[in-house]
Each structure stands twice: as structure tokens, then as C-alpha cells.
Structure 1
Amino acid sequence: MTEVAEEAAKLRTVAIAFVANLLVAIAKSVAAALTGSASMLAESAHSWADAGNEIFLLIAERRSVKPADVSHPLGFGREAYVWSLFAAVGLFTAGAVVSVQHGITELIDPEPARDFGIAYVVLAIAAVLEGISFAQSIVQARRGAARFGRTTIEYALNSSNPTLRAVLAEDAAALTGLAIAFAGILLHQLTGSSAWDAMGSLAIGLLLGVVAVILINRNRRFLVGQTPDVRIRAAAGRALAEHPEINRVTYLHLEFVGPAQLFVVAAVDLEGDHREGEIALQLRTLERAIEKNTMIQKAILTLSVSDEPSITF
């Protein structure tokens, strides 16, 4: 898949998630008003939070691909982590906090639910729409995992692509939340106790809180300077060491500056014994050659000191 096609696929995934969450949020809100179910209200808050978050993720995708300029020589890739962080915080505040708060309120001052059939129908429709969005994000995650030789779950958790991780996590949480809401409403109907419905709201809130904290932590790591895993580092090191003009590598720093975008700093020992001007030109030529790789945003090479040990990759 080309870079343009991959970017289009990411935008399509986020757009599908936004439409699905918006439709589901409206349906759940109507159902919550008609049934008085605490679990359904928690689910409506969840879906509204998800729909709002997709807007942040769309902004993240748009702003992160802006080309580098004089004031931002490493590009705008980290914008993706900033806006994805906003989305994760939104999930926590608008989803988790509201759901937990309402669950506690319902336990203290229970309100009997009614018209359970409406709730079941809305949950079923929501499951279909959320399932479509989840399937789309899974397809994209599998493509990315295949590209880097990883499992789908490993790629989703550790990928430098924050929007895909957010959509996948939110969709998984949405489907799990639907199951929790169904169980809470069903137990309320069977036992006549609204406590089950309230506990469903609490469980949904805790679920969203855990997902939000995980997403916040992942974005925080990339914002403060996340290095790639040992496999990517080893592959980059071998590519450098195997270059015909490079004798050995004594220092290598790799850092994500955006989704699938790396900043490379390396100290190398060049073949031959050239004059200073020739070496400077040779290093610059090597840097430009390295930057032709679509994953390299910027490369900076410097000369190794003779007593520095070589790195083995």
C-alpha cells in the first residue's frame, strides 16, 4: 500500500468510526430517555465521547502530515499525539467520569427502568454499527502488522500510529460496553432491582477509564520521545552498517517524531581517508540517501571517534 493510500485508509477508518458513533449516540440517548436505564445513559455518554473524539483524531491526521518548515525542521508529526491525547482525555472526562457519577447516583437514589424492549433493540443496532467500525479498524491494523512483521494486537498497542490505536481501543471498549449494558439491563428486568443497572453504569465507566489511561500513557510516551523497539533499531543499524561507504557505526539514536516517522542520529566511521571538505559532502550525501526511506523524517550523521567501540546489530 502506498503512503497516500495508507493515509486515505486511516482517514476512512476514523470517518467510519465518527459516523457510527454519532448514529449510536443519538439512538442511545433516545433509548436512555425512554427507558430510564442507567446503563443506557452511560452508554450514550460513552458514544457521545467517542463521536467527539473522532473529530480530534481527524484533526490529528490532517495536521500531522503538514510538511516540515524552517520553524519545524522535524515536521509536524507529533501533532498526531497531541490531538490523540486530547481525545483520550475527552474519553476519560466525558465518558468514564459521567458514567461512574451516574452509576453512583443511581445506587443512592434508584430510578426504575421501563420499556426494556427499546433498550435491547438499540443495543442490537449499536452492536452492528460498532462492529462495522471495529472490523474496518482491524483490517487496517492487520495491514500495518503485516508490514512490520508483528501480531495485530502487538501492532495496535505499540504502533506509532495513535489514531488507529485510539479507534481500535474505543471500538473494542464500545462492544464490551454494550455487553455490560445488556447484562445490567437484563438483570434489572429479571430481578426488579435497579442496582444491577447502576452497577452496569459503574462498570462501563471503569472500563472507559482504563482504556483512556492506557491511551493517555501511550501518547505521553511518544510526545516525550519514544524510541522504536529493538527490531526496528537493529534493522536500521544493519542498513547503515551495510552501506558501502560506511565502515562501522559507533552510535545510533532513533526517535519517533510522528506516525511511522523517525529522527536518526548516528556516528559512523567512513571508508577511506578523505579531506575535511570531502567528508562533509560525503556525510550530507549519505544523509539525503537515508532520508529517501519514507520512514525517515530527518537523518544527521557525524564521524566516529577512533577509540569508540562499534555497535553490533
Structure 2
Amino acid sequence: MMAHEQESEQAEVVPGEGVASGGGLSRPAHDLLGKVPGSEGPGGSDSVTTVLVAFGANVLIALAKSVAAVMTGSASILAEAAHSWADAGNEIFLLIANRRSRRPPDVLHPLGHGREAYVWSLFAALGLFIAGAAVSVTHGVQELVTPEPAGQFVVGYVVLAVSFVLEGISFLQSARQARSEAESLQRDLIEHVLATSDPTLRAVFVEDAAALTGLLIATAGLAAHQLTGSSIPDAIGSILVGLLLAWVALLLINQNRRFLVGQEADPRLRAAALQALLEAPEVARVTYLRLEIVGPRLISVIGDVDLTGDDTESHVAVRLRALEARVSASPAVAGAVLSLSAPDEPTLVV
């Protein structure tokens, strides 16, 4: 089999996340998917930074909100305190997810441990639902049944304002990472956050966005309580915060569920990989190709190909294994399994 140098003049492609234009990277001759630009595989450093920033911000915010909730007696601020403690706990799960998903393959896990990221992120989403949503809604209902007066409103406003700034810093970090990836993949920001195979990025971005919205709800509830002297608006604010957290948690649970049961890669990535295979000199046809996400920015490749020439069976087997090795050489590929196409199978086209 002939080896050849390949140099990309295109942009990044993240497994499961599309193809774009711009940038350029050179690839070793043995890496067939060097033709698929940006297939660097799982990184993790940006996601770890994003989670650490969120964790630090949420711990500080949770402490401040807890003190403010005691001083003011505000149901909305108490709901926000529960929200921040839940977020802080979730960041621990996300750090575990990031670390365990990057463990190398072994005999029992030949495709690696990438899907562990979705397991631990699912735990984090369940924690948000239980510790955040359920507590907030329950306390809001209790406040409606047995209302309690609030005071020290200035303290509440100050804490909410400081919390907004800290949450904003965390949100900007997650948005910066998401925007950088989205632009390279020709996606808008929200589309990328929902579609990315990186569950830690999605969790931090969505939770920070919910936190900023929750702070606005809590501020409105506290102000209405102060203006009317009634705790009903404050209690309603607590319930609304809880419902917001429940919606976010269910969204994250569903996304992690989809990746756990098997999510096929973005069609644009499949098209780029198909093009790379068809351009390989030893490949005459490709009749089947499936790219499945097996972890953050990590895929497995399964396909049927027809090789050029008319070699003996033993030579064909050697060439096929060599082609698999070239596909698997990409850091973005956890493993590749290629079989020979039947003569009557239709050829795939890009």
C-alpha cells in the first residue's frame, strides 16, 4: 500500500460536531483522516478550565446566598442558594466525568472510556433536579402556605448583584469556549451547545445561563416582596426558579441519555470522512459507513469498502487491516472496523 503526505487546508472538524472551513494542519502520512481537518480528538483542557471557573464561582455564590437567605428571610434567595449549592456539587461530577472519560483503552474497553463522561454528567443533572429544583419548589410552596416576613432587603440586593457578576464571569468562560468551537464548525452558539459531544461544556453553559435567569427572577421576587409587604411574590419567585432548574435538568438528562444509547456523528463529519476514504488510492468504493460518538470529540468508524486491484484473499486482508490502521491513527478515532463490500452493494456518494 502506498503511503503519502497529506496536508489540510481546511478547518476544524470535531467528531460528532461537523465540518467547517479555515485554518490548516499537516498530518502524518499514515493518518487517513488527516484529510478530515481538525480531527485532533479529545482535548479536555478548555473544558477543565471552564468547570473549575464555574466551581469556584458557585461556591462563593452559594455561601453568600446562604448568608443572605438567613438575614433576609427571602424564599427566592433561599431557592437561589439551593441552586448554587447544587451547581457546585455538579461541577465535582463534571470534573470526575472529564477525568475518567480520558482513561486509555484496555482489554475490557477497547474503544476507551469516553462514554463515562455522559454517565457522570447524567448524575450531575439528576443532582440539579433533586437538590436544586425540588428544594426550590418545595420551599416556595411552603412559603405560600405559611408566609414569613422578610427584611434586610439591601443585603439581599447586594448579594444578588455580586452573584450576577460572578455567574457572569463563569458564563463568559463557557460561552468563550462554545463560541470558538461553534464558529469553526459554522454553527450558531445555541446549536453547538445542544449538539456538542462534550457534556461538561453543555452542562456549565446551560447551568450558568439558568443561574443568571434565576438571579433576575429572585431579584424581581425580592423587590415585589419589599414593595407590597407580601411574601407571595417571593414564594412565586422560588417556585419559578425551581421550575427553571427542573427544565434545565431534564434537558441535560435527555442529552446525556442520547449519547449513552448511541449517537451517530454529525452528517457533515460523515461526509468528510467518506470523501477522505474515496480519495484514498487503495479504495475503489465505499458501500457502508457509520461514525458513532463514543466520547467527547471521539468516534468509532465502521464501514464496508471495495479495494482496488485483484489481489489474493491474504493480500486483501493485509491491505484492509492497513487501511483500518490508517483510519484509527487519527486521535479522534477510538477504533475502526472495515469489511469488504459485496459486489451488488450500491456505492455511497458524498
TM-score, normalising length from structure 2? 0.87
What SS does the corresponding residue of 1:297 show, helix, strand or coil? strand
Cα RMSD for the two superposed structures: 1.4
In the alignment, the residues of structure 2 paired with residue 166 and residue 100 of structure 1 have an alpha-carbon distance, to the nearest angstrom, of 21
1:194 to 215, 219, 231: 231
Could you tell me how far 1:8 is from its partner in structure 2?
Answer: 1.6
> Are 2:332 and 1:295 aligned?
yes
Q: How does 1:175-186 map to 2 (within 5 A)?
A: 175-186=212-223
Per-residue deviation, residues 136-177 of structure 1 (Å, max 9, x unmatched)? 001111122133232221111100000000000010000000
Q: CA, structure 1 residues 82+100, in 2 after alignment: closer, same or farther (shift >3 Å)? A: same
Could you tell me how far 1:281 is from its partner in structure 2?
Answer: 1.0
Identity %: 60
Match of 1:261 in 2: 298
In the alignment, the residues of structure 2 paired with residue 93 and residue 36 of structure 1 have an alpha-carbon distance, to the nearest angstrom, of 22
Give the partner amino acid of 1:21: N
Give the partner amino acid of 1:218: Q
> Are 2:91 and 1:54 aligned?
yes
Q: Where in structure 1 are there 5+ consecutive unaligned residues? A: none
Match of 1:162 in 2: 199
Q: How does 1:104-143 map to 2 (within 5 A)?
A: 104-143=141-180
What SS does the corresponding residue of 1:308 show, helix, strand or coil? coil
Query: Which structure has more RCO (C-alpha within 8 Å, separation ≥ 6)?
Result: 2
Per-residue deviation, residues 180-235 of structure 1 (Å, max 9, x unmatched)? 00000011111111100000000000000000000000000000000122212211
In the alignment, the residues of structure 2 paired with residue 296 and residue 5 of structure 1 have an alpha-carbon distance, to the nearest angstrom, of 10
Work out whether residues 42 and 297 of structure 2, in 8 Å CA contact, stay in contact via their aligned partners in 1: no
In the alignment, the residues of structure 2 paired with residue 129 and residue 138 of structure 1 have an alpha-carbon distance, to the nearest angstrom, of 14
Work out whether residues 41 and 298 of structure 2, in 8 Å CA contact, stay in contact via their aligned partners in 1: no
What SS does the corresponding residue of 2:230 show, helix, strand or coil? coil
What SS does the corresponding residue of 2:44 show, helix, strand or coil? helix
Q: CA, structure 1 residues 166+177, in 2 after alignment: closer, same or farther (shift >3 Å)? A: same
In the alignment, the residues of structure 2 paired with residue 133 and residue 204 of structure 1 have an alpha-carbon distance, to the nearest angstrom, of 19
> Are 2:270 and 1:252 aligned?
no
Per-residue deviation, residues 98-119 of structure 1 (Å, max 9, x unmatched)? 0001111111111111111000
Match of 2:316 in 1: 279
In the alignment, the residues of structure 1 paired with residue 326 and residue 208 of structure 2 have an alpha-carbon distance, to the nearest angstrom, of 40
TM-score, normalising length from structure 1? 0.97
1:16 to 53, 70, 75: 53
Match of 1:96 in 2: 133
What SS does the corresponding residue of 2:338 show, helix, strand or coil? strand
Could you tell me how far 1:294 is from its partner in structure 2?
Answer: 2.2
What SS does the corresponding residue of 2:280 show, helix, strand or coil? coil
In the alignment, the residues of structure 2 paired with residue 247 and residue 15 of structure 1 have an alpha-carbon distance, to the nearest angstrom, of 49
Could you tell me how far 1:6 is from its partner in structure 2?
Answer: 4.1
In the alignment, the residues of structure 2 paired with residue 32 and residue 117 of structure 1 have an alpha-carbon distance, to the nearest angstrom, of 12
> Are 2:93 and 1:43 aligned?
no
Residues matched between the structures, number: 313
Could you tell me how far 1:5 is from its partner in structure 2?
Answer: 9.9
What SS does the corresponding residue of 1:294 show, helix, strand or coil? coil
Could you tell me how far 1:248 is from its partner in structure 2?
Answer: 1.1
Most deviating of 241-250 and 179-188: 241-250
Could you tell me how far 1:243 is from its partner in structure 2?
Answer: 1.4
Most deviating of 253-262 and 146-155: 146-155
What SS does the corresponding residue of 2:151 show, helix, strand or coil? coil
In the alignment, the residues of structure 1 paired with residue 328 and residue 41 of structure 2 have an alpha-carbon distance, to the nearest angstrom, of 18
2:345 to 283, 308, 311: 308
In the alignment, the residues of structure 1 paired with residue 245 and residue 42 of structure 2 have an alpha-carbon distance, to the nearest angstrom, of 31
1:229 to 266, 291, 312: 266
Most deviating of 231-240 and 136-145: 231-240
Work out whether residues 41 and 331 of structure 2, in 8 Å CA contact, stay in contact via their aligned partners in 1: no
In the alignment, the residues of structure 1 paired with residue 271 and residue 284 of structure 2 have an alpha-carbon distance, to the nearest angstrom, of 17
Give the partner amino acid of 1:152: L
Per-residue deviation, residues 276-305 of structure 1 (Å, max 9, x unmatched)? 111111111111111222221111100000
